[in-house]
Amino acid sequence: MTQEILTVGKFLFDYLYAQGARHAFGIPGDFALPTFRWLDASPIELITMTHEPSVGFAADGYARVNGLGVAVVTYCVGGLNMLNSVACAYAEKSPMIVISGGPSPNDRKADPLVHHKVRTFDTQRRIFEEVTCANTVLTDPERAAEEIIRVVREVQTQCRPGYIEIPFDIVDLPIPAPRIVNVLAAESDAENLDAAIEDAIQMINTAQRPVIIADIELHRHNLTDLAVGLSSKFNIPIAATLLSKSVVSEQNPLYVGVYSGGLSEPETQALVEESDCVILLGAFLTDVFMGMDNSAKLKRKHCILATTEKTLIGLRRYENIQFKDFLERLLEAPLTRRPGFANPVMMREPLKLPPEQANDPITVESFFQMLEHEMPDDATLVCDTGDALLGAIGLRTSQRKNFLSDAYYLSMGFAVPASVGAMAANPDSRAIVIAGDGAFQMTGIELSTVAKQKMTPIVCVLNNDGYGTQRHIIDGPFNNIHRWDYGKICELLNYGTPYRVTTKGELREALQKAVSRQEMALIEVIVPRDDCSRPLRRLGEGLGKLRDTKKRHAT
């Protein structure tokens, strides 16, 4: 029996499949075509997108649901076009592999002006070095397998993107079986870990009102259950952040909502900021976390911060402590169980539309209230930047891990392509996509991929006639965009059903029809030009004072 020859291309995609990747997202180009041929022959299903930024967002969305995303593009014109969405994945710790075709090693020696080349043959790799945790150019077939394993391992360890560039004439070459290297798991410094746990116990047990904030690193590193267990075992209330919304079940009786400084619901903000022991687990202390205008009132001496990168108890720092070790030890520590907690922000029944309000115009806040009532329990909510995200702060989802947004990097255009990745990763969950009209104009054409894949999302376009978020910071004609008839995209694609709604009654009817039918729906939701959610108004006021000289002087 003839043994199948192992090549660079075959090993790459077989290995990614073994690590859990079942789909890849990409756009072909001549340098990458030999690589695409190996992808096509692999058990991984390719979803071809319409534009490289969407390739990155789709792979990112897939990674957030599945644990590992794959994006495949051509050299420079494809890779550099995708850079922003890979930067988003890096900033928010989403594990995806960027695979790029590339010129031949012989071309690199001669240094000719080959098409797609920018400055040097290494330009693309060096640029991607800034937005990936590991990278390689596979110019040596003898070491290709080991390099692939190294990059993928770093991506899985750090939960950030990695970069693999394959010259077009290398991908078909035979390679030796990889040398298996046993990499020892990192260990905590025992004395430092003991000291950190001792000090954490002291701070928590002497506190009157401790609260846990469960952030995104818990989800990325599969450690959420430890944080939820800590909350449950010792009866400590637990909050999420915008980036980690729904990582903790929003029906948990100890769940107190999304904390984001002054953008939070008032009850949530008070619970966190009046706490004398805030236990921050896996937290990104970003300006979004702080309310965008540093409105968060957290005192460092009352905080415990544990992440994959640092451990702080009050004003003390403890080096070389593994995040998982800290969580496991804290869960088993002799902490005092808190007395009964009366949760002021318990999960409520979604509000029904009173009959007398059926003809009222839709506001952003009423849209989210009605969506919460009508959305299926197993839906995945994918929100774009702006009120599509901030308006959802108070909305409660029914299941864990079914809310996606780029709530730190805040790149417009995330939601539609990210939903393609989310639906591929979890086809049993109906995606509900929320995007403003400005964000939709950036990547909404990716519904072409939705049509090709026969996917059935419910896409809600919040039409406030322009860049509404910016208007609340600094207004001007630069925030105006061309008006589209958004429902016409269904006619263009010959796929899906459009709805245009201006009243609450029309919105309820459109949502009910969209939920009941297994087809793509596009609901254009007309909201007043100057309307916004309370969090966005608060954000606009705060950022306006920072960005606008006139407002700053008036203050």
Say which residues have a Cβ less than 8 Å from residue 270's Cβ, sequence separation at least 6: none
Closest-CA residue to 341 (of 230, 270, 238, 258): 238
Tokens of 38: 């190996």
Q: Nearest 5°: CA angle at 270, between 387 and 367?
A: 25
Domain borders along the chain are: 8-167, 190-331, 355-546
Domain 8-167 has CATH 3.40.50.970: yes
CATH top class, domain 355-546: alpha beta
Where is 254: in which H helix or E strand?
none
Average model confidence (pLDDT) across the chain: 92
Residue with structure tokens 């009222």?
360
By the 8 A CB rule, do 240 and 179 touch?
Answer: no
Please state the three-class secondary structure of 18-32 as a single string.
Answer: HCCCCEEEECCCCCC
Q: What pTM value is reported for the model?
A: 0.94
Cα–Cα distance measured from residue 476 to residue 170, given in angstroms and rounded to the nearest whole number = 52
CATH label, 190-331, candidates 3.40.50.1220, 3.30.450.40, 2.30.40.10, 3.40.50.10800: 3.40.50.1220
Residue with structure tokens 């201006």?
502
**Same CATH topology for 190-331 and 355-546?**
yes
**Residue 2 confidence (pLDDT):** 44
Please give the chain's pLDDT, 555 residues, in tens.
Answer: 345 689 999 999 999 999 999 999 999 999 999 999 999 999 999 999 999 999 999 999 999 999 999 999 999 999 999 999 999 999 999 999 999 999 988 887 777 788 888 889 999 999 999 999 999 999 999 999 999 999 999 999 999 999 999 999 999 999 988 877 777 788 999 999 999 999 999 999 999 999 999 999 999 999 999 999 999 999 999 999 999 998 898 889 999 999 998 888 889 999 999 999 999 999 988 878 777 666 677 888 999 999 999 999 999 999 999 999 999 999 999 999 998 888 888 766 777 888 899 999 999 999 999 999 999 988 999 999 999 999 998 888 877 778 999 999 999 999 999 999 999 999 999 999 999 999 999 999 999 999 999 999 999 999 999 998 888 888 999 999 999 999 999 999 999 999 999 999 999 999 999 999 999 999 999 999 999 988 888 888 878 877 877 766 665
Cα–Cα distance measured from residue 342 to residue 345, given in angstroms and rounded to the nearest whole number = 9
Cα–Cα distance measured from residue 344 to residue 211, given in angstroms and rounded to the nearest whole number = 14
404 forms beta bridges with: 382
